[in-house]
Structure 1
């Protein structure tokens, strides 16, 4: 039995997106190419890995067994490639990100990069997406990841924005909904307010924070519900949606911006690391 690494990447992506079209977009492949790779992987294993449910899919019992090994194989493969390809990089890189990604995603991303390239110092800057993009354009930072707010850059992943609430939250139709939001220049705040107003839901801003940790603290205390990206939802909280009476929020496109004022092996290497990491959605 042979398990090609490209097939395993496609398998993991499909397990996460639950759709052939979304997987194709994520991996920059056609829907037919995704379908063919999954078919060949299933033929190689001799087991069905997915159950088709309309336009969506879910893992079979055999698929659930494979997913843990596939993610481990991909990680070990990529770690080996990084260790053998450019082990002698040294220097520093200036990196920027909104606070949304610094809570769950970036600590793992930076730790893995530091493990592979211990002689590269990453200088971190945390601001809103528009300020990060402007800083990249001015050459003040080398690489930035942002929520898509304009044209340009490279879309590297997608993260739904969801309403998060305390476990005991119940939507009460005739009461004003308390919400916790970021400061006024945050796109998630704009999306949330626009969705509530379009749905005719009365709301009040009960809590304003500059940080994701502040919003989550307000939600945990039962003060409000908040719009955040799905990857930042902690296990002790729940997401609420149309079934609970709240409107669907947009999907956030995560965009990579690189400075045009200079290029270097470190910038390219770190860019590849970010793209690969967000593709894995660890």
Structure 2
């Protein structure tokens, strides 16, 4: 068996798993889809193992592929750090990045770490806030780039769409609406546009409501709903088994999709900002894929 693990093949494997598709991996590597697919097939044949499998709309690593990726990331990090010694990035400065809780730090951390290795003289400062606060900070110049969330119809022409998801009415287990009762709401706080949407929908349906709990984090919102302190609107990606979907409300008061997008501040032409935006967009953009390894 050929014992060599070529750098370009390991990079293709990492890109596919991080981006979820051959299509996006090929774009990030400036290669054709067929070239990326061939690299993975050649590696699987060399090792005698399946390394990639499809899970829903994304390509993910098999168990053996995940084991290989642990070593691949170490190899690629060391390789890129060695190259950086002899071809260092010329970018330097500070980027202030705002993100919502929906863009989890465990997901962002490896992307930002890779950016830091490639651009050692760039300081990326991260702030986690609600979308409305992030947008305001962009306008005020307190942030340079924000990953925020808004209704799909309200997006700016300059927003780069990463992914969309459905909103759901979430209720405690076994909860049912009692006619003429006042519904208690759990929201993410005063700036929560989910909370405003919930109040608008309920009032339009002639249902009285009041805000009972305000918490800026999904775990607290779900805990409050689960404990029976109220109901609330939660994005599909954050729902867990602690709560149920309020099917009656889903049917009578359907909710729109929300979009998770990247938006620049006035510094949009800054090379540092463009480099970070490109890396985040490549890693986080989710697109529907066709079946098969060409996805």
TM range (shorter): 0.5 to 0.7
Match of residue 135, structure 1, among 131, 134, 137: 137
| Aligned position for 2:169 | 163
Aligned with residue 207 of structure 1, among 213, 225, 229: 213
Pick from 96, 99, 119 the counterpart of residue 97 of structure 1.
Answer: 99
Give the alignment's TM-score, normalised by structure 1.
0.62
In the TM superposition, residue 272 of structure 1 has moved relative to its aligned partner by 1.8
Report what 2:186 is aligned to.
180
* Structure 2 unmatched runs, 5+: 1-8, 28-43, 45-52, 288-295
Aligned-partner SS, 1:117: helix
| CA offset digits 1:139-175 (Å, max 9, x no partner) | 3321112223442422221122223344xx1232325
Q: 2 CA distance for matches of 1:254 and 1:180?
A: 22
Q: d(CA) in 2 for partners of 1:174 and 1:80?
A: 61
Please point out which of 268, 272, 279 is paired with 2:278. Answer: 272
SS in 1 for 2:138: helix
Distance in 1 separating the partners of 2:278 and 2:79 = 12
Higher relative contact order (CA 8 A, sep 6+): 2
How far the C-alpha of 1:180 sits from its partner, in A, is 0.2
**TM-score normalised by structure 2 residue count:** 0.60
Structure with the greater alpha carbon radius of gyration = 2
Q: CA RMSD in A?
A: 5.1
Residue 147 (structure 1) aligned to one of 146, 149, 152: 149
| Paired position in structure 2 for 1:194 | 200
Name the CA shift for 1:245/1:187 in 2 (closer, same or farther; >3 Å).
Answer: closer
Change (3 A) 1:80 1:229: farther
